[in-house]
Structure 1
């Protein structure tokens, strides 16, 4: 455990790193520093206590950078494909929504027509029931005349309902 006094360049050469990296390491480890007579910085260091493994130089990372650029290009192409698929899905959604709105309008129209038909049928059933009741009550000429008139109204209502149904 001998303490040596080295310049940043000498420390870098011993650790197989650059002088700038050696300066950064000395600062990070809070190694004692002093100035030499010629103005260079000297660092007091015990090399046995420093556990430093140098990172590979930037030249070795060029292959990694190329792989990363290729991955980025692939991901960007995938993003474009996904955006196109999303646009297609959106168009399908809009079409189906318009179709559902049309079907809902048709359903509401059919419901209204069904309700009107049920009301007309109930009214006609009421008139037929009234006619039967009148016929069962008596067979006088006066009742017979009213019954005939009512029967004429029922027939006219049936014809009108049939015309409305055939128009719709």
Structure 2
């Protein structure tokens, strides 16, 4: 009986240690501790995330030149390519992969640009205590940009 209990406890601990982080919730940008670009930022003001099973739905609420808009993307969490709508009738091709410890999610996206080039966006989602952090690196013919965004749960 003791062996069965020990095996059961070890199995539960192993499953808990390998569980993927769940980012679900409504999140608001904390500009006071985020590291954003001075002149132009891609940081959404808020993010709504629904994570269930092998799917992640991310709605980013942003503003640019006085216009509010929402970018909605759906990803599978198995590393397979996902295609979402880009801007101006483009396609955004993305893959989402978990870190080895299942604590952070890395999403790499590419969008074809009007100049024939390509924009690459690398995002890493992870929890820092009760806050969601989003590190973003964007590279294109227009240049490179990095931002560290911190979101508080609403």
Question: Does the alignment reach a TM-score above 0.5?
Answer: no
Greater strand proportion? 2
> Could you state the TM-score of these two structures normalised by the residue count of structure 1?
0.22
Which protein, 1 or 2, shows the higher relative CO under an 8 Å CA cutoff with sep ≥ 6?
Answer: 2
The structure number with the bigger radius of gyration is 1
> Could you state the TM-score of these two structures normalised by the residue count of structure 2?
0.24
Greater helix proportion? 1
